[in-house]
Amino acid sequence: MPPARRHPTMADVAERAGVSVSTVSRTLRGLSNVSPDVRARVEKAARALNFAVSRHASSLVTGRTGVVAALVPTLDSWFMGSALSALGPLLRAADLELTVYVTPDLAERAAFFERLPARRNADALLVFSFDLTDEEIARLDDLGMPVVYVSQHADGRPSVYVDDGAAAEAGTRHLLHLGHRRIAFMQSAGPTGFSFSSHERLLGHRRALTEAGVPLDDSLVVAAPAADRRAVAEALGELLGLREPPTAVFAEQDELAVSLIWTLRRSRIEVPERMSVLGFDDQPVAELFDLTTVAQSPADMGREAGELVLSLIADPDADPARHVLLPTRLVPRGSTAPAPGADTD
Amino acid sequence: MPPARRHPTMADVAERAGVSVSTVSRTLRGLSNVSPDVRARVEKAARALNFAVSRHASSLVTGRTGVVAALVPTLDSWFMGSALSALGPLLRAADLELTVYVTPDLAERAAFFERLPARRNADALLVFSFDLTDEEIARLDDLGMPVVYVSQHADGRPSVYVDDGAAAEAGTRHLLHLGHRRIAFMQSAGPTGFSFSSHERLLGHRRALTEAGVPLDDSLVVAAPAADRRAVAEALGELLGLREPPTAVFAEQDELAVSLIWTLRRSRIEVPERMSVLGFDDQPVAELFDLTTVAQSPADMGREAGELVLSLIADPDADPARHVLLPTRLVPRGSTAPAPGADTD
DNA sequence: CTCGGTCGTGACAACGCTTGCAAGCCTGAA
DNA sequence: TTCAGGCTTGCAAGCGTTGTCACGACCGAG
């Protein structure tokens, strides 16, 4: 059995370079007060030994962990993938690592809030796309580290988000302009319930209707998980079975919209001739399906969140309620058209 | 300025419970030799103080970090999202955290291998979907921790993968059975070059052709990033401009296949009547586009990789070359059809 | 009633790094 | 020649855990 080669430590580097451990530490962290020749020796020794500092040991003394934690409902979505991918380079530039807590269901979510494993093991937390209860937010408040809410607005706490409500209003207004009056809203039901954005979008949708004097009708609001084709078909069935079926559907999310278009096609209901479909996100698949949609940029959101979190780590009690509001825009494509027999505007 | 409330430490818990730090440690780790009443007192105190152990301090002494690192080219893909999401619960069950290193381009990748930031800061590393050079693999070899290769076969190292070559062979055979003889292969070009899978699939494709006595023709092999519609259109243009254009295209990946179908539709080339398209992956979008494809399950891959990594952490010098080979299967849909004017079999 | 053996607990020495402090060196000015 | 003051370096004290060891209490057997 080989002698279980241990990782080299600073002491090894120090010995090899003929200096003290302190000097190695100072050198490796780039502090100025190290003479050039010593610096060279130390760096050479470190390279030769393939040395890397133990973040654990150093964070023990500095109190900083060098880790940013992210709490996400899943990684398996366009939004999370784009946002986190954009976040990566920022963190790396600041020499921070990213640890991810995935909470796919309510049990995992409860466990996270119960144990708060990030506590003491990260310098900051990014909370993505949840619809948190007040207790959960309170729990995060005394986590002892900066918490940034992403794709969610939390009162008095730093957040990065789009104005989902206003964006949805704009979407619904687009349909109203096209002469639609019976407009359904389809929510994306997840294992952890509806997201914060989901709620906001529905509210915005309703506001636009009310503003236009269109009566609200709860039977026009349905829900289905985008991935579950049968559920989508059932939700569509509900809508089509109404005494007065809708002429347009606003899907909370592109994947759901696309799934809906697919279902409509199978039922030989032409889009947009007999049914307009509007999405939200502008995922790549939207263009492929010629889907009119409300665009947002999760990559930008990830970047903004990253910058915010970096500034909070640098100065934890900076502006405690800094908000970054990102823009959305309507991307008109071919899945929406004037309502049958309606004058546009 | 508030007195910068520090996190409570074991000493605080110990004081509150009127016991020593050692006893707190033993209690919290569930060691048996603690009397019931002391255990109760300690647990109560810990809960009251909202105490959480510092992983850093404990890993300093145990030598284990409680962290699994994952090296991924991006998070922004169906494959990575599914695989990592599936991995999560496994790790959490073992009380491990997941830290992710995203290397979207060659510079980041080089930086990772140069500094090996995971060194000393994780108990094991999962390497996803890369096409690593021998030097890179050698570099990982002396990382001093178990390394599991996912969606990639590395000789003599633990890997979890599908037989991309055989799967691609099966795909190409499907097209051959349909009477196609001019079959193009479209690779997905990423910023870090072609993936391991990409190479393997092309090889498998060629084997199937050779086996069937169809001559290889390099002009039938093109490449484009799936997200870049113009590049896809250009690649398609190249193929259509050939003296003898293909009657079928095998796209290395569903997103690329779908992008291709979209481009074909815009050019009024019917799929599958005038051009068969075959994909690889069976992403959700494949069903939406009625795409025939070779299915694999990244979620299974993530799970298998997770189990493998757990077993290696438990026993680092278990079977050093344990391989897990996952199945693929052809999913026939509507995007492939007999070649124009050919007898099927 | 004594004695080996558990059992529960506390003291204390690591683990690998950072950082305040002091000491040594060298420089240039007096 | 001396001495203040700036640079560079080493020493040693932690940081918050774990794990070894020793100690005393208690138990049952001889």
B277 lies in the same domain as B153: no
A152 lies in the same domain as A172: no
A19 CB below 7 A from strand D atoms: yes
| pLDDT at residue B105, rounded to an integer | 87
Q: Give the gap in angstroms from C-alpha A288 to the nearest C-alpha of chain B.
A: 6
D chain positions with any atom within 7 Å of a protein CB: 7-12, 14-20
| pLDDT at residue A184, rounded to an integer | 98
Q: Take residue B317 and report the two structure tokens written for it.
A: 């010098």
Q: Is residue B310 part of a domain?
A: yes
Q: Are strands B97-102 and A97-102 parallel, antiparallel or unpaired?
A: antiparallel
Query: Cβ of B102 and A81 within 8 Å?
Result: no
Nearest CB to B65: which of A56, A98, A289? Answer: A56
Q: Is residue A214 part of a domain?
A: yes
Domain hosting residue B134, numbered range: 65-162+299-329
Number of CB pairs, chain A paired with chain B, less than 8 A apart: 154
Counting every residue, how long is chain A?
A: 345
Q: Average pLDDT in the B251-277 region?
A: 96
B180 lies in the same domain as B292: yes
B201 lies in the same domain as B284: yes
| pLDDT at residue A1, rounded to an integer | 31
Nearest CB to B56: which of A65, A115, A288? Answer: A65
Say which CATH number the domain at B23 has. 1.10.260.40
Nearest CB to B7: which of A5, A104, A144? Answer: A144
What Å distances lie between residue A158 and A151, A161, A181, A201, B157, CA to CA? 11, 10, 38, 21, 45
What Å distances lie between residue B164 and B151, B195, B282, B324, CA to CA? 9, 11, 14, 13
| pLDDT at residue B56, rounded to an integer | 92
Say which CATH number the domain at B78 has. 3.40.50.2300
B180 lies in the same domain as B277: yes
Nearest CB to B76: which of A53, A81, A258? Answer: A81
Residues with CB under 7 A from strand C: A 6, 9-11, 21-22, 25-26, 28-29, 53-54, 57-58, 60-62; B 18-23, 26, 32-35, 37-38, 57, 60-61
* Cβ–Cβ under 8 Å, residues A128 and A70: yes
A126 lies in the same domain as A28: no
Tell me: pLDDT of B310 over 90. Answer: yes
Q: Is residue A78 part of a domain?
A: yes
Mutate to test the interface with B, among A28, A56, A99 (most CBs of B within 10 A): A56
A154 lies in the same domain as A205: no
The nt closest to A35 (CA vs C1′) is D8
B143 lies in the same domain as B43: no
Q: Is residue A264 part of a domain?
A: yes
* Beta strands, E only, chain A: 67-72, 97-102, 124-128, 147-150, 159-162, 183-188, 221-224, 248-251, 276-281, 292-295, 323-326, 329-331
Q: How many domains does chain B have?
A: 3
Give distance CA A20 / C1' C25 (Å). 17
| pLDDT at residue B104, rounded to an integer | 87
Answer yes or no: pTM beyond 0.75: yes
Q: Is residue B343 part of a domain?
A: no
Q: Is residue A230 part of a domain?
A: yes
pLDDT in tens, B144-179: 899 999 999 888 899 999 999 999 999 999 999 999
pLDDT in tens, B326-338: 999 999 999 999 9
Residues 6+ apart with CB under 8 A from B39: B27
| pLDDT at residue A320, rounded to an integer | 64
Would the CA dihedral through A80, A82, A88, A93 be positive or negative? negative
Mutate to test the interface with A, among B56, B90, B96, B271 (most CBs of A within 10 A): B56
Residues 6+ apart with CB under 8 A from B146: B123, B124, B125, B158, B309, B312, B313, B316
B196 lies in the same domain as B304: no
Q: Which of A93, A276, A292, A92 is nearest to A182 (CA)?
A: A276
- What residues of chain B, 143 to 202, have a C-beta less than 8 Å from chain A? 144
Query: Is A117 at the interface with chain B, CB within 8 A?
Result: yes
pLDDT tier, B5 (very low <50, low <70, confident <90, very high otherwise): low
Q: Which residue of B has its CA nearest to A255?
A: B285
Q: Which residue of A has its CA nearest to B53?
A: A120
Q: Which of B161, B117, B153 is nearest to B137 (CA)?
A: B153
A86 lies in the same domain as A39: no
| pLDDT at residue A345, rounded to an integer | 47
Give distance CA A234 / C1' D2 (Å). 97
Q: Average pLDDT in the B241-246 region?
A: 96
Residue whose structure tokens are 């580290």: A145
Intervals of chain A under pLDDT 50: 1-4, 344-345
Q: Give the gap in angstroms from C-alpha A120 to the nearest C-alpha of chain B.
A: 6
Q: Average pLDDT in the B44-64 region?
A: 92
| pLDDT at residue B319, rounded to an integer | 66
pLDDT tier, B283 (very low <50, low <70, confident <90, very high otherwise): very high
3-state secondary structure (DSSP) of residue A100: strand
3-state secondary structure (DSSP) of residue A75: coil
* Cβ–Cβ under 8 Å, residues A312 and A124: yes
Q: Average pLDDT in the B256-285 region?
A: 96
Q: Which of A129, A146, A55 is nearest to A96 (CA)?
A: A55
* Beta strands, E only, chain B: 67-72, 97-102, 124-128, 147-150, 159-162, 183-188, 221-224, 248-251, 276-281, 292-295, 323-326, 329-331
Per DSSP, the residues of A134-193 read HHHHHHHHTTSS-EEEESS--TTS-EEEE-HHHHHHHHHHHHHHTT--SEEEEEE-BTTB
**Element holding A36 (H helix, E strand):** helix A36-49
Residues 6+ apart with CB under 8 A from B255: A284, B78, B188, B226, B227, B281, B283, B285
Give distance CA A55 / C1' C27 (Å). 39
B289 lies in the same domain as B175: yes
- Residue A18 CA to residue B157 CA, distance in Å, equals 38
Q: Average pLDDT in the B94-109 region?
A: 91
Give distance CA A31 / C1' C29 (Å). 30
A214 lies in the same domain as A288: yes
